[in-house]
Every structure is written in C-alpha cells, then in structure tokens.
Structure 1
Amino acid sequence: MSAEENQAVIRRLFDEVYNDQNLDVLDELVAEDVVNHAAADEHKHGIEGFRHVIEWTYALAPDARSELST
C-alpha cells in the first residue's frame, strides 16, 4: 500500500469511525490482528478489542471530534 493509500485509510478511520461514530466500516479499515498499544492489556489485541476501546471513547466523550492535519 502506498503512503497516499495509507493516509486515505487513516483519514477514513478518523472521519467515519471516530467523528461519525460509524463502526460498520471498522472491518474495512483495521486489520483483524490489530495491536492497540495504548489500550489496557485485555483490549490490546484484535479488532474486537479495538472496537471496545472506540465504544468506550464514544461513551466517555460522545461529542468529541478529531482533526488530522498534514
């Protein structure tokens, strides 16, 4: 995957998953064996752990928005 393609994936992740709270596209954007180093041990590995952390973030700050700059 090129650098531009990687950037497009990350932009979609932030726009659609974090900002629009659309978890339906998560499987398209994140590898099944993803490792989230910032997560608690029980949620570090796998897409379901990644999903759990995002859902927790939605509950904690439902109106939060993320902005990427290049």
Structure 2
Amino acid sequence: MNIRTLSMPLAIVVGLLALGGCASPTVVTLQNGTQYLTQDMPKTKGTDGFIEFRDISDAKIKVKADDVATIRTEK
C-alpha cells in the first residue's frame, strides 16, 4: 500500500469525526418537569412564540416558549 491509497480513506474518517463533533446535544426542560434530549441547540423563539427542535428519535417538537424552564448543553 502506498500513501495515496491510504490518504483518501483517512481524509474521509477525519472529516466525519469533525462533523460529528459539531452537533451538541441539548436538554430542554419544561416548567412541568418534562425533559427532551435534542440533537442540537433548538431554534430560538420566533414571531409565533414557540420553540422548535428535533429530539433524539428525530421527532419534531414545538413548545410554547413560556413553558420552557431551561435549555442547557449536555456535556
């Protein structure tokens, strides 16, 4: 094997690892205690007063911004 045959797969692996590090799971806690683990930081409140996000099962969730107690990044 030479360097050229190894460089492309290595570049792909490094690229995928870099993209995987971009998403930061977030916990959205509602006033009633319900918690959602999201794939990424939720979209902030829009003009309609709701916050939208996708949970880890890829379901689209839309809640009133007034019902949200905390939004924190999972470590």
TM-score above 0.5: no
Counting helix residues as a fraction of each chain, which structure ranks higher? 1
Higher strand fraction: Structure 1 or Structure 2? Answer: 2
TM-score (norm 2): 0.30
